[in-house]
Chains A and B, each alone.
Chain A
Amino acid sequence: MTRWIAQNRGFAAALVLFAALYFSYHLMHPRGFSTAVLVQNANELVAIGFVAMAQTVPVLLGGLDLSVGAVMTLAACVASWLLDGTPAQIALGMIATLAVGAGFGLMNGLIVVYGRLQPIIATLATGAIAIGLALLIRPNPGGNVDGDLNWALTNSVYDFAETYGFARGGDAAWLQPFVNIPVPLILLFGTACLVWLPFKRTVTGRTIYAIGSAEGAAYASGLPIDRARIAAFTLAGFFAACGGLYLAIQTSTGNADVVQAGAYTLNSIAAVVLGGTALLGGTGGVIASILGAMILRAVSFYFRILDIDPLLQPLIEGIVLLTAVSAVAFRTFGVKNQLELFR
């Protein structure tokens, strides 16, 4: 345990910060600690959570993916055409959406690896392409998404069961311990656990960490560098598409909003940093970034329960962000060997 904290100091700090923030939010909320509030918070988290996950993978490599927000938007626009009809059609639509995102990520990976471009600049460019495609697919916001799907996935497990009439409409005894869990939370953490945790324990996954930590050493050790890079960007595209898919379901809409895409990309980087993952790569993880996204969101929750001048809110938001990321830095004052500050 002590070793875990020592090796994951950033994550531990983020966890404490989030717990404190979120707990006091509930204390102050008129309907704190209720399923409704939890469901609402979870819904708000999913898209940014997925995009933060997406950003994490290239960051672990020591790169940045500036196209994650755009890929999310592209995926949402694709999904807004495909998520209607019979259950089979909807399922196919979902798969197609995720495939589009993963495919776009794959393209990023191929460009970075075989074009030998720096990820940050390659994805800046492909991000523009993704937004362009999204605008072609959805020149104006709109879409048609199955209403049941929208309702079932944006509520608690009970509503999910009720909508689709399984487990006796949600009243089955075995389901009772879970009925209050928000479905979006299950989707988010489920994807993280089912996709990321196993992936991390493959050679390719470990190579991603190795590249971020010491690329030359990773190559000299014979690790599959190119494959890992491509996999990382593909995975980023996949996670971003998960975010887009959920966004489309949540809003029943595709909206090729350039500004929103940009905001998501930048927020994803903030989330990654808040979660304790080093932008230089090598340490950190996807779960930590979800936590970072939760912190970002939790900060904005306060504007809804506290009486804060609306025109001061952007300022406060900025100061909180700046303070949070600088707080991490106060460690630098404790560093006794100044060489440790310079990588």
Chain B
Amino acid sequence: MTTMPQIRPDDRPLLIAFGFTLVILVIGTGYTLSTTGTMPLLQPSYLMQQLQIGSFLGICAAGMMLVILTGHIDLSIPWTLTSAAMVATSVGGPWAIPAGLSVGLCVGLVNGFGVSVLRVPSMIFTLGLDTVLRGLMVARTGGFAPQDTATPAMLYLAKAKLLGVPVALFVWIAVSLVVTFLLTRTTFGRALYATGTKERAAWLSGIRTRAVVTGAFLGSALCAALAGVLLAGYSAKAYQGMGNSYLLPAIAAVVLGGTHILGGRGRYAGTFLGVVLIVLLNSILSIMQMPEAFRQIIYGAVIIGMLLIYGRGTRVSE
């Protein structure tokens, strides 16, 4: 129990996540060198491609972080993402992207209402809404989105390159800047942390916690919708189930980035690193052609291992 040297406890997860990312790169490069004699992992083009793919996850995770900071969780990401993509492509034309984002708007408001006003546990309300969205998509499209091809604008955002860097990456960075600004420089950000720490005390301090929680869910749903629109651009079309693989990695990224799962603590830079880490881990496992069984085990072990190293979570002694 002595003073922590130089490193602030807040920075520890960042440093560890960063270190771990380097370790992954080294191991992966070692592997490719020994098997094929190449080192794609260190090529800018490969890294760019990974980050381009990672940007969809990154955007989802940014939104998820807002919700986790309030002490809630958003399980409706998969079908929010899918619905936004499917609606966007079926509207088409210049209104495609606004239409997709407005799906996010609606989902966020409903989630916010259910969690903050009705006070249904977010775990279960967002799960229910996810099921409803899936039902809506199954029912509405009957399997065939009337029009499922992405518009040129979506294609541009997801696939084009600007100065050799994928535009999707710029979108991710823009989202990151917005979220960082929100969290550190606005009253909304402060209120978010306060609400996540102790909603009762925050409410009694005159913070409109219902609005704050709703805002967080809105942010999450908008991010998911944006990711959906981009993903549809990347795949050139929208399809059922495109969001299925974004929920758990988003949560894992947020947590690996040092955000406390019960809310109130965490920094955006951590989430960003968490996403990079997960994306690289995934791509290395797939380069190694790791069978699914080991993939799952490694995935689990990495999360546990890193959190153990963070050594967070104070024992309650009071």
Using CB atoms and an 8 Å cutoff, list the residues of chain A in contact with chain B: 64, 111, 115-118, 120-122, 124-129, 131-133, 135-136, 139, 215-216, 219-220, 256, 258, 266, 269-270, 273, 279, 309, 311-319, 321-322, 325-326, 328-330, 332, 338-339, 341-343
Interface size on B, residues (CB 8 A): 59
Which of B120, B199, B248, B298 neighbours the largest number of chain A CB atoms within 10 Å of its CB? B120
A-B contact pairs, 5 of them (CB 8 A): A124-B252, A312-B135, A322-B132, A326-B114, A330-B118
Min CB–CB distance B74 → chain A (angstroms) = 14
Label chain A's interface by main secondary structure. Answer: helix
What CA separation (Å) do A270 and B127 show in the bound complex? 9
Q: Which single member of A129, A258, A312, A339 contacts B297 (CB below 8 Å)?
A: A129
What CA separation (Å) do A266 and B295 show in the bound complex? 22
Using CB atoms and an 8 Å cutoff, list the residues of chain B in contact with chain A: 75, 114, 117-121, 123-125, 127-136, 138-139, 142, 199-200, 203-204, 209, 248, 251-252, 255, 260-262, 291-304, 307-308, 311-318
Min CB–CB distance A179 → chain B (angstroms) = 39
Interface contact tally, CB-CB below 8 A: 157
Label chain B's interface by main secondary structure. Answer: helix
Question: Is the pair B138, A322 in contact by a Cβ cutoff of 8 Å?
Answer: no
Q: Given A128-B300, A322-B128, do A64 and B199 touch, yes or no (CB 8 Å)?
A: no
Min CB–CB distance B255 → chain A (angstroms) = 5
Q: Which single member of A126, A219, A269, A341 contacts B127 (CB below 8 Å)?
A: A269
Q: Given A125-B300, A311-B138, A343-B200, do A273 and B121 touch, yes or no (CB 8 Å)?
A: yes
Tell me which residues across on chain A come within 8 A of B118, comparing CB atoms.
Answer: 326, 329-330, 332
Q: Which residue of B lies closest to A259 (CB)?
A: B244
Question: Is the pair B136, A315 in contact by a Cβ cutoff of 8 Å?
Answer: yes
Q: Which residue of B lies closest to A324 (CB)?
A: B128
Q: Which single member of B131, B296, B313 contacts A132 (CB below 8 Å)?
A: B296
Q: Given A125-B301, A215-B316, A216-B316, do A132 and B124 touch, yes or no (CB 8 Å)?
A: no
What CA separation (Å) do A71 and B129 show in the bound complex? 26
Q: Which single member of A111, A270, A314 contacts B134 (CB below 8 Å)?
A: A314
